[in-house]
Structure 1
Amino acid sequence: MRRLSLATLPMVPDSVRPRVDPRAIGVGIVHLGLGAFHRAHQADFTEEAMARAGGAWGICGVSPRSGRVIEQLAPQDGLYTLLTRGSAGPRARVLAPIRQWLVGAHDPEAVTARIADPAIRLVTLTVTEKGYRHDPATGRLRREDPEIRADAAGRPPRTVVGLLVRGLERRMRDSGAPVTVLCCDNLPQNGVTLARVVGDFLSLLTGGDAVAEWLATAVRFPSSMVDRITPATTAADREEAARLLGLRDEGVVVTEPFRQWVIEESFAAGRPAWEQAGALLVTDVRPYELAKLRMLNGAHSLLGYLGALAGLETIAETVAVEPFAIAAQRLMVDDAVPTLVGPAGLDLAAYAADILARFANPALDYRTTQVASDGSQKLPQRLLGTIRDRRTAGAMPRWAVLGVAAWMRWVWSPVTDAGEPRQLDDPLADEMTELLRDVNDPVQVVDRLLHLRAVFGDDLADDVELRERLTDDLTALTIDGAKATVRRAVSLE
């Protein structure tokens, strides 16, 4: 079967072709983090915005480390299939907003030069929480990180923060043209957090003060909230796309019909007409962000750890276990909602029900182990914020605490409930493994992990009632397993 490319695009049915002519798109965005989520979310919004309102907003996609995505897209002239799986069956569309591509590890000079190019008016990012090399508990850059220190010392940058700052520094020198840096990752107040991390990196540089002064006048860091479930692509997904297109596509991305993007209206040099593609431009993203992080992402993490411990492969399989679904619903409604001031017009109880329905979509093969990865970076914004606010109010957030205990069990135990080996995929994996070496008592596990400052900060370890609740849950998960523990918990409530 022939492969998708500009040469074979005429073979694709008209209804499936890109909404814009790939050959006519000028590049105005550099995007760091060319993974599946970006291609299913911001790239989709951007192509539709150009189709509706025009503008030179093509994307130069940067894969900071691996060249794997580029190997998929380059032979296809940047084209790829967005395969949407919903109740109406699979639907395919070829997208074309990515018009250039670079690998940061292979050519950091080209990446910094592109960021500095005055034709670029937006730099966007989806590099996951760990890509910022920050302390999730404080939101500050880990200045002692050896990779950060090496980038700051002057080597060709390898970290995302190093690439971004060196590009902005060069932009200041070359033209001083204004630019907007838009974070699209699941970080609290992600624009503020990214600006702080950039400032921390600049403090390590000779001449960093001058760059910081320029940033204050010429660069904006708006916040945003993004939402679209995007599981890893499988061989079966590629086969399905080939059947629908009549062409082979190595860059297929799978997603759900739902998509949401809420963006702070603060731009230094223009933007695509994203609102014409369905994005919401607001003055304050925070209410939307907190609702999504604490409800959707919090419940996702709870289900990810419980499902992985129970040996369930997907989130949909996990939600199908009634006690697990009840626990996720109660986490959202009983624990998270009391900490939120919802956005105007958003019924939080209905939002929780919609989230569970999306999780239950059997057409999405979202692996529990994928959700369970990088927990040290995710817990602070997904579960610990809820716990802190509820404890301040004098309440014990039963289900959020269970989520943290499930994470602790995942970190501590090398096997699942069925005795199958588990793979701890986390940037702090080595540190946590060493911390828990030879520990065989849940009391000690809770004590040691609560003192992991990068995750829990300085306050939670002193909460005696919280420690006791975590210890009880971890003990039950260890002795009885995830299914029995949660079944008992929901029956007692």
Structure 2
Amino acid sequence: MKNISNSQLNESVNMPTYNRSTLKTRIVHLGFGAFHRAHQALYTNEVAQKADSDWGICEISLFSSEKIISSLKEQDHLYTVAEKGAQSTQVKIIACITESMHPKFNGIEAVIEKMAEPQVAIVSMTITEKGYCIDPATGLLDKNNELVISDIKNPAQPKSALGYIVQALKLRRDRGINPFTVMSCDNVQGNGHVAKAAILEFTQLLDTKLATWIEQNVTFPCTMVDRIVPAATEQTLSEITNLIGVEDPCGIACEPFRQWVIEDNFVAGRPEWDIAGAEFVDDVVPFEEMKLRMLNGSHSFLAYLGYLGGFEHISDTMTDLSYRKAAFDMMMQAQAPSLTMPEGADLESYAALLINRFENPSLKHQTWQIAMDGSQKIPQRMGGSLRFHLEQGSDFKWLALGIAGWMRFISGVDEQGNDIDVRDPMATMLREICDSHGLNTSVVPALLSIESIFASEIGQNVQVINAVKNAYQSLLNNGAKATVAAL
């Protein structure tokens, strides 16, 4: 069968020219999803292209994605990234992956053994917020999580990412092998701190001495990652086939913009990602807050209100001047004032850049896709800035409407009476609350009282309840488009 590894590709494709045989598996990555393919793997590929680097990646999918791992193996671990600008598309072949694994193909023990190999210096992750098994309200390990319960009962046969990492670190300690760095690349606030807290608390339940060893020897750098990478569709894959000349089921399309800010805290070395454009810093937090609130917060705002307003893609919302202005005002009036940035940071230019990124018509980033998992996203994207405005006594109407948009979305029925496919870890609970109240503002305090999403000082604040109620009532009376226009 013709594929990337054995075919003559179109001349416009950027093929790597480095010697792949010099690469070693020095990074094990958990979660071979769209974002990782277009971000960390691409940076690592560019380091190999620009420098004498031996940093290769073993890709591991722990849950689904058996098909994509099979496809990756079949094409010699090569795949395509198409960077789609408004005017042109640049196509790159990524070649820094040395091997790939899946528990269903290789077995759990083999995956753990791979992570325990002495040359592995970094275990990185894109496992989404859910993968950390954390209670969003407390920031602590959710001991009632099914994966956690299973892994504590049977630690040698882990199911969670935490369980795999802890077993691999245990093997390394027992064998006298130096530990690896655990690097989260998820869009989670303080992702390194979250990973560390989850892993240490998990390990405490198993082996207190191992927990102490991990705390003393393993580093957990925080990272801020940014690139818009829509989920691949049949249309995406068809476009990639046309661009390169053969099919690539692992191919992914993304925007040209990318950003990676990394806390320089690695216990066993790291690639020179900075030569590919990454930025190593002492403190990631200001950059992370900027991105979570300004980009991700406005993205969620546009996802809920855009979907309800009949817009299929984020770029479609930008064709409506009211949505465009509301998104910019959300960034500058609601989010930017709540940030504490290093000297020289220009938040207005950043907001303008984000609007340009949102309007890129080449990216078909679905409002429905971004609207997923809202219960996990809202605390980070809107909670901190909402708390700031309550303390300052300043206007937070954009945040109130964003939250009301989420509440209206999770009711499961759109403005035309059609069903909405609500995807969320708390979907059952949320649906029960919505169904018991119907499309009525009485649902607002009920949803705000869920402390795993809204801390009590927010969810029980009369100002917040009233502001969200008013916004929700406007969505019922006037619809999303008119409500956004009224901002």
TM-score range, shorter chain: over 0.9
8 Å contact kept, 1:20–1:47: no
8 Å contact kept, 1:311–1:416: no
Structure 1 residue 337 displacement after superposition: 0.9
Distance 1:22 1:402 in 2: 51
Given the alignment of the two structures, is residue 77 of structure 1 paired with residue 66 of structure 2, yes or no?
no
SS at match of 2:60: strand
Change (3 A) 1:416 1:14: closer
Structure 1 residue 403 displacement after superposition: 0.6
Indicate the residue corresponding to 1:30 in structure 2: 28
1:48-78 Cα distance to aligned partner (Å, 9 max, x none) = 1122222321101111201132133121111
Distance 2:343 2:185 in 1: 22
Distance 1:166 1:256 in 2: 37
Indicate the residue corresponding to 1:185 in structure 2: 186
SS at match of 1:137: coil
Indicate the residue corresponding to 1:276 in structure 2: 275
Distance 2:343 2:48 in 1: 29
8 Å contact kept, 1:30–1:59: yes
Indicate the residue corresponding to 2:259 in structure 1: 260
Indicate the residue corresponding to 1:433 in structure 2: 431
Distance 1:124 1:442 in 2: 44
8 Å contact kept, 1:118–1:175: no
Given the alignment of the two structures, is residue 462 of structure 1 paired with residue 486 of structure 2, yes or no?
no
Distance 1:70 1:218 in 2: 32
Structure 1 residue 416 displacement after superposition: 1.2
Structure 1 residue 21 displacement after superposition: 3.0
Structure 1 residue 162 displacement after superposition: 1.6
8 Å contact kept, 1:180–1:268: yes
Indicate the residue corresponding to 1:248 in structure 2: 247
Change (3 A) 1:417 1:21: farther
SS at match of 1:101: strand
Indicate the residue corresponding to 2:318 in structure 1: 319
8 Å contact kept, 2:86–2:361: no
Distance 1:477 1:441 in 2: 10
Given the alignment of the two structures, is residue 359 of structure 1 paired with residue 354 of structure 2, yes or no?
no
Aligned 1:49-60 pairs, distance under 5 A: 49-60=47-58
Write the letter of the residue equivalent to 1:184: C
Distance 1:65 1:32 in 2: 10
Structure 1 residue 427 displacement after superposition: 0.6
Indicate the residue corresponding to 2:126 in structure 1: 126
SS at match of 2:435: coil
Distance 1:15 1:362 in 2: 22
Segment drifting more, 337-346 vs 94-103: 337-346
SS at match of 1:328: helix
8 Å contact kept, 1:227–1:260: yes
SS at match of 1:99: strand
Indicate the residue corresponding to 1:299 in structure 2: 298
Indicate the residue corresponding to 1:40 in structure 2: 38
Given the alignment of the two structures, is residue 139 of structure 1 paired with residue 139 of structure 2, yes or no?
yes
Distance 1:344 1:274 in 2: 24
Distance 1:57 1:159 in 2: 26
Write the letter of the residue equivalent to 1:132: Y
Gaps of 5+ in 1: none
Indicate the residue corresponding to 2:162 in structure 1: 161
Distance 1:179 1:454 in 2: 32
Indicate the residue corresponding to 2:441 in structure 1: 443
Distance 1:317 1:345 in 2: 33
Write the letter of the residue equivalent to 2:31: G
8 Å contact kept, 2:404–2:471: yes
Change (3 A) 1:443 1:236: closer
Structure 1 residue 396 displacement after superposition: 3.2
8 Å contact kept, 1:19–1:48: no
SS at match of 2:364: coil
Structure 1 residue 326 displacement after superposition: 1.3
Distance 1:227 1:422 in 2: 28
Structure 1 residue 178 displacement after superposition: 2.6
| RMSD (CA atoms) | 1.6
Segment drifting more, 181-190 vs 98-107: 98-107
Structure 1 residue 117 displacement after superposition: 1.2
Change (3 A) 1:384 1:74: same
Distance 1:182 1:191 in 2: 7
Selected match of 2:473 from 465, 472, 475: 475
1:264-304 Cα distance to aligned partner (Å, 9 max, x none) = 01110100000110100000101100000000000000000
8 Å contact kept, 1:143–1:200: no
Distance 1:15 1:379 in 2: 39
Moved over 6 A (4+): none
Given the alignment of the two structures, is residue 96 of structure 1 paired with residue 95 of structure 2, yes or no?
yes
Structure 1 residue 150 displacement after superposition: 0.7
Structure 1 residue 197 displacement after superposition: 0.7
Change (3 A) 1:422 1:153: same
Write the letter of the residue equivalent to 1:474: Y
Given the alignment of the two structures, is residue 338 of structure 1 paired with residue 337 of structure 2, yes or no?
yes
Indicate the residue corresponding to 2:220 in structure 1: 221
Indicate the residue corresponding to 1:172 in structure 2: 173
SS at match of 2:224: strand
SS at match of 2:436: coil
8 Å contact kept, 2:263–2:284: yes
8 Å contact kept, 1:222–1:267: yes
Indicate the residue corresponding to 2:402 in structure 1: 403
8 Å contact kept, 1:133–1:142: yes
1:290-334 Cα distance to aligned partner (Å, 9 max, x none) = 000000000000000011112211000012111111111111100
Distance 2:160 2:330 in 1: 35
Segment drifting more, 389-398 vs 421-430: 389-398
Structure 1 residue 342 displacement after superposition: 2.0
Change (3 A) 1:20 1:421: farther
Structure 1 residue 15 displacement after superposition: 5.3
8 Å contact kept, 1:294–1:336: yes
| TM-score of the superposed pair, with normalisation by structure 2 | 0.96
Percent identical among aligned pairs is 38
